[in-house]
Amino acid sequence: MLFRIPSIFQSFPQLLAAESTRHGGVSPAPYASLNLGKSTDDDPAHVVENRRRFCAALGVEPAALAWSRQVHGAEVRWATAPGAAEGFDALITRSPGVVLAVSVADCTPVLVFDPVRGAVAAIHAGWRGAAAGIIGNTLAEMATRFGTRGADCLAYVGTCIDECSFEVGPEVAAAFDAAFQRFDAGRDRYFVDLKKVCAAQLQACGLPEQHIEISPFSTVLHNHDYFSHRLEKGSTGRMMAVIGVRG
The number of residues in the chain equals 247
pLDDT value at position 247?
A: 85
Buried b (16+ CB within 10 A) or exposed e, 26-51: bbeebbbbbbbbeebebeeebbeebb
SS3 category, 23: coil
pLDDT value at position 30?
A: 96
- Note the helical H segments in 151-193: 170-173
Sequence letter at residue 95: S
The DSSP string of 57-122 is HHTS-GGGEEEEE--SS--EEE-SSSEEEES-SEEEE--TT-EEEEEESSSEEEEEEETTTTEEEE
Query: CB 175: neighbour CB atoms within 10 A?
Result: 16
Q: What is the mean pLDDT of residues 115-139?
A: 98
- Per-residue 3-state assignment (H helix, E strand, C coil) for 43-70: CHHHHHHHHHHHHHHHCCCHHHEEEEEC
Domain range for residue 125? 3-245
Question: Measured between alpha carbons, how far is residue 62 from residues 15, 56, 82, 105 in Å?
Answer: 17, 8, 9, 20
Q: What is the CATH number of the domain that holds 107?
A: 3.60.140.10
Q: What is the mean pLDDT of residues 231-238?
A: 96
pTM greater than the 0.85 cutoff: yes
Residues with Cβ within 8 Å of residue 11, at least 6 apart in sequence: none
Q: Report pLDDT digits (tens) over 128-183.
A: 999 999 999 999 999 999 999 999 999 999 999 999 999 999 999 999 999 999 99
Q: Report pLDDT digits (tens) over 24-83.
A: 999 999 999 999 999 999 999 999 999 999 999 999 999 999 999 999 999 999 999 999
Number of domains forming the structure of the chain = 1
